[in-house]
Structure formats: C-alpha cells, structure tokens
Amino acid sequence: MPVCTLPGGQTIGYDDAGSGPPLVLVHAFPLDRTMWAPQVAALAASARVLTLDVPGFGESPAALELTIDGVAKTVSDFLAALNIPKAIVGGLSMGGYVALAFARNFADKLNGLILADTRAGVDDTNARANRTKSIALVNEKGSAALFESMVPKVLSDSTREVKPEVVERAKSIAARQPASSVAAALAALRDRPDANSGLKAIAVPTLILVGEFDAVTPPLSSANLAAQIRGSKLVHIPGAGHLSNIENPDAFNNAVRVFLGERPV
C-alpha cells in the first residue's frame, strides 16, 4: 500500500483510487482508512478518492503530538505532497472534526466539504470525564476492549441485529490500532476547539450526513451544522447509527454521488 512522505519526514498511509475531482476522506475514531472501503469502491467512478490514516492509526506512524488542528495540517501537507491544490474534504465523527478544522485553517485549499455524523461543539464536562475514563480503559485493557464498550453507542440496533458482518469488521479495524494512539486520539477529541464560530464563514458546497439513529452525534447536531453553513444540504441515512458509511453504504454513497453532480444508482 502506498505511503506518502510529508515535509518534515512524517509518513502517511493512504489509498488513491479513481479519477475526477479530488475527494479526501478522514476516518472515524478509533478506526483507520479501511473503513472507507465501501466508498472507495462505489465513488471511484465519480471522483479521485483519497483515504488516509490519521497519525498513529493504520499505516501512519504516530506523531509527536496529536491534535485535531494538527491532523488538519497533516491533510494540507498530504495534498501538497500529491500536488493537489484543492480538494473536497470529508470526514466522519473524528474525521468530521478534522474536516471542520481544515475548513477553518485551509479554506484556500477547499473545494467542498462533507461532514458525516459529527458536530461543531466541544465536549461538555461529563463527556470530557468519560474521555478520560476511556483513556484509562484503553491503557489498561487495550483497543479491542474500548471499542467493545462503544459498539452499542456507535452502531444502530438494526445493524447489530441483522448485519453481524458490519459489527465484526468494525471491531477488527478497531482492535488493530495501538492503544497508545487510541489514548492520544481520545485526548485530542476531549481537548478539541469549538468549531461553531467558523461555520458561517464556510463558503464552499457542503453536504451533511447523519445516521437516522446516531446516538453519539444525534441528528440535532447535524441540523445545527446545516442551519449555520449557508447553502448546505442535510441528508439522513436510514437505519444507520453513528458509523453511517458502513451501516448503510448505499444511501451514504448515493448522497455523495448527488453532491458530486452524479446520478444516484
């Protein structure tokens, strides 16, 4: 699999498929770029689909420090290394936080925005405390144990009941992530900046996607994004929870195709 070397020597694992407008997808916590397999397969006829591993995940070595703004800088450097001046940047959950940070810090490199199952606000006191507890859990018992505790929150009831292969695939991806990287990402999520103040400045076409049954970043969070980002389009993904791209990939992919100007299938 290809590896991209960024200025300063950091390396990033990535995949590059298809042709057309560049579309960069940033994965959710605590997964890696392989969560986008259903999108790469379906969208490569409509776009140049670039998926990358956040530092410390998948095939990307850990960075000295992991922050949401720092990962946005990594995405910017990644585009520069591939000689891509502008791209549509999308992300799900943690990846959505990164996409919002990219929009805030690198607006001149942005052609469009896809925000899936994410929100603009910061963690409240209770959520921050839970992140800290999760850091202790992953340090003690590992990545697989942490994700096992997350499954009822991130996958809808129907997914868990009728799509066991989706559950097992997500568990498998999470289990192979280093505990140290998962802990660092939890701290980055806990301490991320509030993105609300920058929403009204977003001036590129924006697609907002949310699972119908997302219990982590509920549809109301996406409605807030849609209300503040002018001209944005909000699409609910039927039957899906927080990991909507793997729970209902057909609906997810069709929404992205329409956003890219292609006919749905």
The 10s digit of each residue's pLDDT in 210-261 is 999 999 999 999 999 999 999 999 999 999 999 999 999 999 999 999 999 9
What average pLDDT does this structure show over 92-116? 98
Label residue 133 by pLDDT band (50, 70, 90): very high
Percent of the chain exceeding pLDDT 70 equals 98
Q: What is the pLDDT of residues 136-145, one digit of tens each?
A: 999 999 999 9
What average pLDDT does this structure show over 169-181? 98
What H or E segment, with its residue span, contains residue 51?
A: strand 48-52
Mind listing the domains of the chain with CATH numbers? 3-259 (3.40.50.1820)
End-to-end CA distance of the chain: 29
On whether the CB atoms of residues 28 and 241 are closer than 8 A, the answer is no
What average pLDDT does this structure show over 194-208? 97
- Residue-level length of the chain: 265
Per DSSP bridges, beta strands 48-52 and 22-26 are: parallel
Question: Which residues lie below 8 Å from residue 158, measured CB to CB, with a gap of 6+?
Answer: 213, 239
Label residue 39 by pLDDT band (50, 70, 90): very high
Q: Which of 263, 264, 259, 265 is nearest to 21 (CA)?
A: 259
Q: Report DSSP letters for 95-130, one per residue.
A: HHHHHHHHHHH-GGGEEEEEEES--SSPP-HHHHHH
What average pLDDT does this structure show over 107-117? 98
Question: Which residues lie below 8 Å from residue 44, measured CB to CB, with a gap of 6+?
Answer: 17, 18, 19
Distance CA 265, CA 263 (A): 7
What are 243's two structure tokens?
A: 């990991």
What are 43's two structure tokens?
A: 């969208």
Its pTM stands at 0.97
pLDDT at 1: 64
3 state SS of 21: coil
On whether the CB atoms of residues 52 and 59 are closer than 8 A, the answer is no
Distance CA 181, CA 165 (A): 25
Q: What is the pLDDT of residues 62-72, one digit of tens each?
A: 988 999 999 99
